[in-house]
Amino acid sequence: MKSVKIGNIKIENPICLSPMAGFSSLPFRIICNEMGAAYSPTELVSARSIRYNGIGKSLRYMRIAPDEEKITAIQLFGSEPEDFEAAVRTIMETPVLQEVSIIDINMGCPVPKVVKTGSGSALMEDPARAASIVKACKKALAELCLNVPVTVKTRIGYNAGDKGKPEFARALADAGCDMICVHGRTRIQMYHGESSNEAISVMREAVRGYDIPFFANGDITDTESARKIIEETGCDGIMIGRAARGNPWIFEQVTAGLNGNEIPAMPCEKDRKLMLIRELEGRLKYLPEDVAVREFRSVMPFYIKGLPGSSQIKVRLCSCSKADEIKEILGID
């Protein structure tokens, strides 16, 4: 894909890892970047919590490594513009976070706990509030004299019948949003049914007159589905979510396929297991072993999916509490 600019940031090969709570760990994002992902936002973090409790507990979800990731993005969720303004200030005044390249706002999360507070997907029903949130982030950054772009990740609508929300996309662009990424499902669909490229393209067209890149997301699993979403939506970039879980190689495969090059084969069993261990060891650098291993239980099955004996291995891995047990089960020293 052609390079794009998000604000002043040049994005080569705009194929990104879509943020996923529980999966977008710092080591996994670094691995995906090595495999060709342009950048990978953190999972969603509460702007309100940062405002009232500081970075503290949220830091583990917001960790970035500017040297290794090159382009970094922190994703915030919330419903009050003031929470975002305060959260952005706090992030930019925190030494380990202040080099972040992009602030991303979640306007697509469908989870009831989030939507109930007017955050995530609920913002699609309130374009004026969504615009105020973008403006609040931009204001905080401008006051700090920082040229950090603000992006939004959203969906094609809230209700079952929604087929794209052009007025919502325009409200975001008018507010100064520097990139919009749209997942082709409604809030009601959660993660079920098909992602609609047609509805994504309605939002794409709505902001074509603005000088900002538009990314599409939903159901990309290989080169073919990547090519399809690009052709059918006219997007400038793509984000890959679920298909990348335990499969960072998808980025080199899709990149090669879209460039008309030979698609590299999936690595062998041993290399897949070694990659699992690499992510685990990365997590162990900033989390206590029991926490790291417990949280990694839901990630490991994706790395071994389809390997001989994977069902039995999965059961054993899911009861581990120590990193050494995982290595032993996988036969890796």
The contact mask relative to ligand FMN for 271-310 (x = CB under 6 A, - = no) is: ----------------------------------------
User: If we measure between CA atoms, which residue out of 2, 3, 7 comes closest to residue 210?
Assistant: 7
Residue 241 found at the interface with ligand FMN (CB under 6 A): yes
**Secondary structure element (H or E) that encloses residue 329, with its range:** helix 323-330
- The residue from 40, 43, 202, 292 that contacts ligand FMN (CB under 6 A) is 43
Length, in residues, of the chain: 333
254 binds ligand FMN (CB under 6 A): no
Q: Which of 4, 16, 18, 182 binds ligand FMN (CB under 6 A)?
A: 18
193 binds ligand FMN (CB under 6 A): no
Residue (91 or 329) nearer to ligand FMN, CB = 91
Termini Cα distance of the chain? 39
Question: Among all residues, which ones are annotated catalytic?
Answer: 109
**Residue 215 contacts ligand FMN per CB under 6 A:** no
Sign, Cα dihedral of 123, 129, 132, 137: negative
- Spatial distance between the Cα atoms of 169 and 177, rounded to a whole number of angstroms: 9
Within residues 121-150, the interface with ligand FMN by CB under 6 A covers none
Helix (H, G, I), strand (E, B) or coil at 165: coil
Among 106, 119, 225, 253, binds ligand FMN (CB under 6 A): 106
Q: Which of 86, 220, 293, 300 binds ligand FMN (CB under 6 A)?
A: 220
Burial of 280 (0-12, 13-18, 19+ CB in 10 A): buried
Q: Coil, strand, or helix at residue 106?
A: strand
Site residues, ligand FMN (CB under 6 A): 18-23, 43-44, 75, 106, 108-109, 153, 183, 191, 217-220, 240-243
